[in-house]
Amino acid sequence: MTDWMKAWGVPGDLLSDDWRGGEGALLTYRATYPRRPSARPGDRLFYYAVGHRVVFGIYEVTSLPFPGSGDDRWEWQVKVERIIDLEFLHDGIPLEDLNVDGRDLLISMRQKSAIRLHKPEAEAAERELRQRAEGGANHG
């Protein structure tokens, strides 16, 4: 199993705070990519909202990559199932809070739409997401 940080949104076209509505609903069952992804069934995707600079969910990949529809701007997709997610982006984990392994994740995410996470990064993100989903974290 590989853990990935998967970016959503682009500068100027950000996810809405209540991201599950409208076009954002796609994220709850598919992950899209401009090129064939390395993600495989059993891998986990840590969802990162570009612009908001927060991590807001973990989804498990349940299919091999497949081509998107011809009218889709994202050429490749994988099916996903929810492990945990937050209802609102304002409850997400600031990306800089996950710099636990000596790497600046913000710089890494500016260069790619998805990166492999190191084990300490993934563990920190999962622990914090679970706390926030259960309402156990005091965050602004």
Q: What is the DSSP string of 35-79?
A: S-----TT-EEEEEETTTTEEEEEEEE-S--EE--TT-SS-EEEE
Report CA-CA distances (Å) from 39 to 7, 29, 60, 131. 13, 15, 10, 26
**Of the candidates 2, 12, 82, which has an alpha carbon nearest to the alpha carbon of residue 37?**
2
| pLDDT tens digits, one per residue of 93-113 | 999 999 998 899 999 888 788
**138 assigned to some structural domain:** no
Of 123 and 101, the structure prediction assigns the larger pLDDT to 123
**129 assigned to some structural domain:** yes
CATH number of the domain bearing residue 50 = 3.10.590.10
Question: pLDDT-based confidence at 49, cuts 50/70/90?
Answer: very high
**140 assigned to some structural domain:** no
Q: What is the pLDDT, as a whole number, of residue 23? A: 74
Calpha distance 107→90 (Å, rounded): 21
Q: Which residues contact residue 56 at a Cβ distance below 8 angstroms, ignoring those fewer than 6 apart?
A: 19, 47, 48, 49, 85, 86, 89, 91, 92, 93, 129
Q: How many CB atoms lie within 10 A of CB 28?
A: 15
**73 assigned to some structural domain:** yes
**48 assigned to some structural domain:** yes
**69 assigned to some structural domain:** yes
**40 assigned to some structural domain:** yes
Query: Do residues 49 and 89 touch, judged by C-beta distance below 8 A?
Result: yes
**120 assigned to some structural domain:** yes
Q: Which domain holds residue 104?
A: 3-133
Continuous segment of H or E residues that includes residue 31: strand 30-33
The number of folded domains in the chain is: 1
| pLDDT tens digits, one per residue of 6-41 | 999 876 677 899 998 877 788 999 999 988 999 999
Structure token digits, residue 117: 């996470």
